[in-house]
């Protein structure tokens, strides 16, 4: 801190000299007031819970006579998680498969549609955008119930339509071989419009003259797309991809409603495992261990991905 009163630090105060220190104190107070609520919320409700979970993961918790009894078990929970646990790892596998499949389908579909709309123009753009926004703002649990109704074995729309065509009913949600595919289908239905909107925005932000130059340099649309549009869209694509992948690890609502993780472990996902362990099986210590492992793994992925994206961006703009 500069010693003399009236001498200011950098930033926008640099233009103004000789500020009375009273003002400085007022300013510092403002910074505190404006940032503290957010910081407090984060610390109390996000940082502290993580610490809490970590601590609990070393315990076995039992409810005896309306109070909880803690018995220290060291790394037992972790040991169990990595050796005898089966359901959770099925869930990890499913979640990974789910993420990769669903997201790649959404990206291809969304990008193609955006490309088609951008180049050919569309009718009723406003209405279209409105309809496309529906899946995003509708509560996910509602999407789950909707598709539960549609894919229901007995009275669902899907099987009714199949019946009209003379085909037999399919147990979309009860057949272990199909169930995961059904869930993935719902996710694709849910998020493709989002990808579409992002891709469209990205395409519209491209420099028009560069695209015109490509039209003059190339012999076919495909050449234009492959050599010019796609490379220029890479930053947007990568960001959307990362966002969707990480978001797909948060899937819970739809699975809860559609299949509750069943049949068997066909649609088990990580979040559901944690939910069940914590709230249906009351294994708080074990659930905490699961949570910690999940948090750690995903955090690593996120940080690596951001680092990768940033290094890529830095390399692009290199020396300007």
Partner 1 sequence: MTLRLGSRILANTVVWGYALVILGPTLWVLSNAFKFKIDIITGATISPFTWINFNELLFSRQSDFLANLLNSAVIGIASTAIVIVVATMAAFTLTCLDVRPWVRWALLGWALLFHMLPTLTFVGSWYLMFSSVGLHGTYFAVIMTHAVHNLPMALFLMMSFVGALPRELIQAARMDGCSYGQVFWRIAFPLVRGGMIAATALTFIFSWSDFAISLTLTSRDTMTVPVAIATFAQEYDIRYGEMAAGTLLSIVPALLLILLGQNFIVRGLLAGAVK
Partner 2 sequence: MADVTIQAFQKFYGSVEVIPPLDLEIRKGEFVVLVGPSGSGKSTLLRMIAGLEKIDGGKLSIDGEDITGRDPGDRDMAMVFQSYALYPHMTVAENMTFALRMRGTGDAVIRERLAEALRMLSLEGYENRKPAQLSGGQRQRVAMGRAIVRQPRVFLFDEPLSNLDAKLRARTRLELRELHDRLGATSIFVTHDQIEAMTMADRIVLLDHGRIQQIGSPREIYEEPHNRFVASFIGSPEINLLEGSLHVDGDTMLFNGLTLPGRKAEMPTGSEYTLGIRPEAFDVAPERLAGTVPLAIRAVEYTGSDVFVFGTIDAGPLTVKLPAEGHALRDGIGAGAIIHVRPTAEGWHLFDRSGLRVAKT
Q: Would you count residue 266 as binding partner 1 (CB under 8 A)?
A: no
Residue 113 Cβ vs partner 1, minimum distance, rounded to whole Å? 5
Task: State the Cα angle at 92 between 86 and 93, rounded to 5°.
Answer: 90
Q: Would you count residue 320 as binding partner 1 (CB under 8 A)?
A: no
Distance (Å, whole) CA 60 – CA 79: 13
Site string for partner 1, 214-253 (x = CB under 8 A): -------------------------xx--x--xx-xx-xx
Residue numbers 140-199 binding partner 1 by CB under 8 A: 140-142, 144-150, 154-155, 157, 160, 189, 192-194, 196-198
Residue numbers 300-319 binding partner 2 by CB under 8 A: 316-319
Q: Would you count residue 204 as binding partner 2 (CB under 8 A)?
A: no
CB nearer to partner 2: pick between 109 and 214: 214
Hey, how many other C-beta atoms are within 10 angstroms of the C-beta on 45? 9
Positive or negative: CA dihedral 306, 309, 314, 317: negative
DSSP state of 169: P
Q: Would you count residue 274 as binding partner 1 (CB under 8 A)?
A: yes
User: Could you say which of partner 1, partner 2, none residue 247 binds, taking C-beta under 5 to 8 angstroms by partner kind?
Assistant: partner 1
Distance (Å, whole) CA 158 – CA 186: 13
Contacts of 71 by beta carbon, 8 Å cutoff, 6+ apart: 59, 60, 61, 62
Collapsed DSSP state (helix, strand, coil) of residue 136: helix
Site string for partner 2, 28-57 (x = CB under 8 A): ------------------------------
What's phi and psi for 112, nearest 5 deg? -60, -45
Cα-based torsion angle of the residue sequence 77, 80, 83, 84 in order, rounded to the nearest 10 degrees? -160
CB nearer to partner 2: pick between 306 and 312: 312
Residue numbers 51-90 binding partner 1 by CB under 8 A: 52-53, 56
Distance (Å, whole) CA 242 – CA 234: 12
Residue 217 Cβ vs partner 2, minimum distance, rounded to whole Å? 4
Collapsed DSSP state (helix, strand, coil) of residue 263: coil
DSSP state of 167: P
Hey, how many other C-beta atoms are within 10 angstroms of the C-beta on 276? 19
Give the residue, chosen from 20, 231, 264, 307, that forms a contact with partner 2 under the rule CB under 8 A. 231
CB nearer to partner 2: pick between 31 and 319: 319
Q: Would you count residue 232 as binding partner 2 (CB under 8 A)?
A: yes
DSSP state of 4: S
Q: Would you count residue 134 as binding partner 1 (CB under 8 A)?
A: yes
Q: Would you count residue 81 as binding partner 2 (CB under 8 A)?
A: no
Residue located via tokens 């078990």: 73
Residue 232 Cβ vs partner 2, minimum distance, rounded to whole Å? 6
**Which residues of this protein are in contact with partner 2, per CB under 8 A?**
207, 209-210, 212-220, 223, 227-228, 231-232, 234, 316-320
């Amino acid at each position: 801190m500069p010693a003399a009163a009236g001498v200011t630090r950098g930033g926008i105060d640099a233009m103004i000299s000789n500020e009375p220190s009273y003002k400085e104190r007022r300013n510092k107070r403002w910074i505190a007031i404006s940032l503290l609520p957010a910081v407090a919320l984060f610390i109390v409700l996000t940082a502290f819970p993580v610490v809490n979970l970590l601590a609990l993961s070393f315990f076995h918790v039992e409810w005896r006579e309306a109070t909880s009894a803690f018995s220290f078990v060291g790394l037992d929970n972790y040991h169990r998680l990595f050796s005898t646990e089966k359901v959770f790892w099925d869930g990890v596998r499913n979640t990974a498969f789910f993420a990769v499949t669903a997201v790649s389908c959404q990206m291809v579909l969304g990008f193609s549609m955006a490309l088609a709309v951008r180049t050919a123009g569309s009718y009723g753009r406003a209405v279209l955008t409105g309809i496309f926004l529906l899946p995003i703002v509708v509560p996910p649990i509602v999407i789950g119930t909707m598709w539960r109704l549609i894919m229901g074995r007995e009275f669902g729309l899907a099987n009714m339509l199949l019946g009209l065509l003379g085909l037999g009913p399919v147990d979309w949600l009860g057949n272990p071989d199909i169930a995961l595919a059904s869930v993935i289908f719902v996710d694709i239905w849910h998020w493709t419009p989002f990808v579409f909107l992002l891709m469209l925005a990205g395409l519209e932000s491209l420099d028009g003259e560069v695209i015109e130059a490509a039209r003059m340099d190339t012999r076919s649309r495909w050449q234009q797309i492959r050599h010019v549009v796609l490379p220029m869209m890479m930053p947007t694509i990568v960001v959307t991809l990362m966002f969707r992948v990480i978001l797909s690890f948060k899937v819970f609502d739809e699975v809860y409603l559609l299949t509750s993780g069943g049949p068997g472990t066909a649609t088990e996902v990580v979040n559901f495992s944690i939910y069940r362990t914590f709230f249906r099986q009351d294994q708080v210590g074990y659930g905490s261990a699961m949570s910690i492992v999940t948090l750690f793994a995903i955090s690593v992925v996120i940080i690596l991905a951001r680092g990768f994206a940033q290094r890529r961006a830095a390399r692009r703009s290199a020396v300007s």
